């Protein structure tokens, strides 16, 4: 028995011993270590429950949650309330199994994405699976372009593990006192964070006016560099307060709103951490943001996105089954970064295959609202915004090198990106 087969084995055992039990009436709990526990209705017969436990122990082996992996809801600490906890619905041999994930971190991956569109500021998250794809450069130059069009822009560096925007958009002596990590660690211990936003941003010299930058770490951290690793160990944690557990995503949203209140931006650009880390869920799913997925056309890229999007497909399946909104899928957009000439068609084909296999609906839902597109539909999420590769922007430092470039050189590489992003911005208003 291994991790990948353990859930299917559990569902098969339930259907063998309790064939009439509907999916909504039981839960599979995967604990922090990856072992499985089964919660069934209180009225389950003793003999059937004993037989079910024998089967689960024999088949699950080390992945059995305990000596009796199946219990009645009334025998759990939370009782029937457990059935109201957030779930992921995984389709196992056509059966919609409801799974409760217990995690030390990463609970934001299993909470339904934020579909609240009431926020005044327009947020854009820049994400990639790996660094070196030009994500931060595109963000910096679009921020400057927006300021040239009269917009006030707030840039937030959430790539705490590999911070770069502070160095790219601020001079070394021009950092604010505090950064993103400082707010997160202060908030974790319940300190008063009300005065921090005014000390977390500085105007970037890259634009004449209107470009505010919140770096990952501020000037005080630069004077106390030995504390960076200690801050990172705590910045991402969930917080326990008088009202219960506050997730990292909820804390992050509070911080972003506080910065927006302080600086009143028209547009907020957020540089996400790269990769599939637990903390990536917060900006991708819970900030009500447009999400730009930067990719280079390589097998390793598509493999990584299949891992990510396959999980997102579970969220979409859960939303559809529970009758919840799935409009968050519309907010995702592929970006073909550092694109070489003549590779557009292959990128489109690979991106389309990714979306068909994961986030596009296989068939029309019962309400008739199908989320799917033709491969050549230019308005589709899979159809990429293209940024061509240019030697001018390899190892590009906006603060030091921007004056060496003409506007025509910038537009030659990023003009199509600026146009597409402007259209996306206007469509969200």
281-327 pLDDT, tens digit per residue, is 999 999 999 999 999 999 999 999 999 999 999 999 998 888 888 88
Express each pLDDT in 376-408 by its tens digit.
999 999 999 999 999 999 888 888 888 889 999
**Domain range for 66:** 3-102
Indicate whether 385 and 240 sit together in one domain: yes
Closest CA to 99 of 38, 54, 41, 12: 38
Measured distance CA(57)–CA(61) in Å, rounded: 6
Tell me whether residue 116 is in a domain.
no
Tell me whether residue 165 is in a domain.
yes
Contact 51, 59 (CB under 8 A): no
Contact 358, 329 (CB under 8 A): no
Average pLDDT over residues 174-203: 94
Distances (CA, A) of 42 to 103, 164, 257: 26, 54, 44
User: What's the distance, CA 171 to chain centroid?
Assistant: 30
Express each pLDDT in 71-106 by its tens digit.
998 888 778 888 888 899 999 988 999 999 988 776
Q: Tell me, what's the pLDDT at 131?
A: 87
Indicate whether 70 and 177 sit together in one domain: no
Lookup result for tokens 């819970």: 286
Indicate whether 72 and 209 sit together in one domain: no
Express each pLDDT in 208-257 by its tens digit.
999 999 999 999 999 999 999 999 999 999 998 888 889 999 999 999 99
Tell me whether residue 108 is in a domain.
no
Q: Which residues contact 101 (CB under 8 A, 6 or more apart)?
A: 30, 88, 107, 109, 110
Indicate whether 164 and 205 sit together in one domain: yes
Closest CA to 351 of 333, 366, 365: 333
Indicate whether 75 and 129 sit together in one domain: no
- Helices within 22-75 (DSSP H only): 46-60
Q: Tell me, what's the pLDDT at 117?
A: 57
Q: Tell me, what's the pLDDT at 119?
A: 63
Q: What is the CATH number of the domain that holds 369?
A: 3.40.50.300
Tell me whether residue 10 is in a domain.
yes
Share of the chain above pLDDT 90, in %: 75
Distances (CA, A) of 408 to 182, 210, 252, 387, 413: 39, 22, 38, 15, 9
* Number of separate domains in the chain: 2
Express each pLDDT in 105-152 by its tens digit.
768 998 888 776 556 679 999 999 998 899 999 999 999 999 999 999
Q: Tell me, what's the pLDDT at 269?
A: 98
Q: Tell me, what's the pLDDT at 121?
A: 76
Tell me whether residue 110 is in a domain.
no
Residue where a domain stops, chosen among 73, 102, 131: 102
Q: Tell me, what's the pLDDT at 140?
A: 94
Q: Tell me, what's the pLDDT at 259?
A: 97
Contact 147, 208 (CB under 8 A): yes
Q: Tell me, what's the pLDDT at 210?
A: 95
Indicate whether 44 and 87 sit together in one domain: yes
Q: Tell me, what's the pLDDT at 362?
A: 82
The model's pTM is 0.92
pLDDT(174) > 70: yes
Q: Tell me, what's the pLDDT at 62?
A: 95
Tell me whether residue 112 is in a domain.
no
Give backbone dihedrals phi and psi of 91, rounded to 5 degrees, phi first.
-85, 115
pLDDT(364) > 70: no
């Amino acid at each position: 028995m291994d991790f990948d087969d353990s859930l299917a084995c559990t569902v098969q055992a339930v259907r063998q011993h309790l064939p009439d039990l509907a999916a909504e009436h039981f839960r599979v709990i995967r604990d922090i270590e990856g072992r499985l526990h089964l919660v069934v209705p209180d009225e389950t017969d003793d003999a059937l429950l004993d037989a079910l436990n024998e089967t689960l122990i024999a088949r699950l082996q080390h992945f059995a949650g305990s000596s009796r992996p199946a219990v009645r809801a009334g025998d759990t600490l939370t009782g029937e309330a457990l059935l109201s906890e957030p779930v992921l619905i995984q389709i196992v041999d056509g059966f919609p199994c409801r799974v409760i994930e217990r995690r030390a971190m990463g609970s934001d991956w299993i909470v339904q994405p934020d579909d609240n569109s009431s926020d005044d500021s327009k947020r854009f998250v820049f994400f990639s699976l790996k660094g070196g794809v030009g994500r931060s450069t595109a963000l910096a130059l679009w921020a400057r372009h927006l300021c040239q069009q009269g917009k006030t822009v707030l840039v937030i560096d959430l790539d705490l593990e590999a911070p770069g925007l502070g160095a790219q958009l601020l001079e070394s002596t021009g950092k604010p006192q505090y950064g993103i990590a400082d707010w997160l660690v202060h908030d974790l211990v319940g300190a008063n964070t009300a005065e921090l936003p005014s000390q977390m941003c500085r105007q970037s010299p890259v634009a004449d006016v209107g470009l505010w930058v919140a770096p990952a770490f501020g000037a005080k951290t630069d004077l106390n560099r030995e504390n960076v690793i200690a801050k990172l160990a705590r910045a991402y944690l969930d917080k326990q307060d008088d009202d219960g557990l506050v997730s990292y995503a909820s804390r992050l949203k509070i911080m972003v709103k506080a910065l927006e209140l302080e600086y009143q931006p028209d547009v907020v650009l957020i540089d996400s951490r790269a990769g599939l880390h637990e903390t990536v869920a917060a900006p991708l799913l819970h900030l009500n943001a447009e999400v730009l997925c930067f990719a280079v056309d390589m097998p390793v890229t598509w493999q990584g996105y299949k891992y990510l999007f396959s999980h997102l497909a579970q969220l979409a399946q859960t939303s559809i089954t529970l009758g919840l909104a799935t409009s968050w899928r519309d907010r995702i957009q592929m970006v073909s970064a550092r694109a070489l000439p003549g590779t557009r068609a292959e990128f489109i084909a690979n991106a389309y295959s990714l979306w068909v296999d994961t986030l596009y609906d296989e068939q029309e839902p019962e309400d008739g609202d199908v989320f799917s597109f033709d491969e050549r539909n230019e308005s589709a999420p899979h159809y990429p915004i293209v940024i061509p590769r240019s030697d001018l922007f390899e190892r590009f430092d906006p603060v030091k090198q921007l004056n060496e470039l003409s506007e025509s050189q910038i537009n030659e590489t990023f003009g199509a990106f600026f146009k597409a992003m402007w259209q996306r911005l206007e469509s969200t208003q």
